């Protein structure tokens, strides 16, 4: 019954309840109003694709539930600069602590180091986290359809829109895709990793791509290692990619990012 995602979401709800008790929404809202202007996340990806390039969302990820520690030498501002130098379009920064060893401060530090738009990569279960994301300086938030009901997803998207944030909605199967299309965001991610079992299969994007309407921007997520992997995703219509581990494992992140983006 209790898969990985159920556990993560239950823990997240408890964590958010504690955060709410420690800091009232009104205080976070005040910080959100004072935050740096939003950088257009969807706009940056659209511009990359428009100019014939891939849109790369490069992820700053220290550890994961499936792999444990991914990168020991973990310096978010240095990684942000390396990704930018290598040609990334946007950044994704894990802020989930219990499962990914992320931190809110990593997002703040990474964003301050570059001019790229930044996704707060976390498990959003409550609109409070969206206001938090804005207060931290995030430009985009993640909605995982497997974690939320239609009503919860819509509530979180509304909160993001109210804060001026972009939304990446993530799906893993046909039913989730159909539900995601009820949302307004143009940014549609297909996660090649099943968050319930943590198994990865990049055929997932190939299978779902044909059902993604032309007015959505398809992002292929997870399990992407080589230019050939990106070409395979591009062949079914993906021009944007979310990549973490394969770049995080390299000593020279700039060179690895450049190499990944090399078109065959």
Ligand X SMILES: O=P(O)(O)OC[C@@H](O)[C@@H](O)c1c[nH]c2ccccc12
Alpha helices in 137-193 (DSSP H): 150-162, 174-180
**Residue of 16, 233, 244, 257 interacting with ligand X (CB under 6 A):** 244
Stretch that binds ligand X, among 24-32, 82-90, 227-235, 243-251 (CB under 6 A): 243-251
x/- binding map, residues 183-202, to ligand X, per CB under 6 A? Answer: --------x-----------
CB of 257 to ligand X, least distance (A): 12
Structure tokens at 172: 């893993």
x/- binding map, residues 52-91, to ligand X, per CB under 6 A? Answer: -------x-x------------------------------
Q: How many CB atoms lie within 10 A of CB 83?
A: 29
Which CB sits closer to ligand X, 23 or 227? 227
CA-wise closest residue to 32 among 160, 166, 185, 124: 160
Burial class (CB in 10 A: 0-12, 13-18, 19+), 236: middle
242 binds ligand X, rule: CB under 6 A: yes
**24 backbone φψ class: left, alpha, beta (φ>0; ψ -120 to 50):** beta
Residue whose C-beta lies closest to ligand X: 244
Extended beta strands in the chain, E state: 55-60, 63-64, 68-69, 90-94, 118-121, 140-144, 166-171, 187-191, 217-221, 240-243
221 binds ligand X, rule: CB under 6 A: yes
CB of 149 to ligand X, least distance (A): 18
Q: Which residues bind ligand X (CB under 6 A)?
A: 59, 61, 121, 144, 170, 191, 221-224, 242-246
């Amino acid at each position: 019954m209790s898969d990985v995602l159920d556990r993560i979401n239950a823990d997240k709800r408890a964590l958010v309840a504690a955060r709410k008790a420690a800091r009232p929404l009104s205080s976070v809202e005040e910080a959100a109003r004072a935050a740096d202007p939003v950088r257009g996340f969807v706009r940056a990806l659209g511009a990359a694709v428009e100019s014939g390039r891939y849109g790369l969302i490069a992820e700053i990820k220290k550890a994961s539930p499936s792999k444990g520690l991914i990168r020991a030498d973990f310096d978010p501002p240095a990684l942000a600069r390396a990704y930018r130098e290598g040609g990334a379009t946007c950044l994704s920064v894990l802020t989930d602590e219990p499962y990914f060893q992320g931190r809110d401060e990593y997002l703040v530090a990474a964003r301050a180091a570059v001019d790229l738009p930044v996704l707060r990569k976390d498990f959003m279960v409550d609109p409070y986290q969206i206001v938090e994301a804005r207060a931290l300086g995030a430009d985009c938030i993640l909605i995982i359809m497997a974690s939320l009901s239609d009503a919860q997803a819509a509530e979180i998207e509304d909160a993001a829109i109210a804060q001026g944030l972009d939304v990446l909605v993530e799906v893993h199967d046909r039913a989730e895709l159909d539900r995601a299309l009820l949302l307004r965001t143009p940014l549609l991610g297909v996660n090649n990793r099943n968050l319930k079992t943590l198994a990865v299969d990049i055929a997932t994007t190939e299978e779902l791509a044909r059902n993604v309407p032309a007015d959505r921007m398809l992002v292929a997520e997870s399990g992407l290692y080589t230019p050939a992997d990106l070409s395979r995703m591009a062949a079914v219509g993906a021009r944007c990619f979310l990549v973490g581990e394969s770049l995080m494992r390299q000593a020279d992140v700039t060179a690895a990012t450049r190499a990944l983006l090399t078109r065959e």
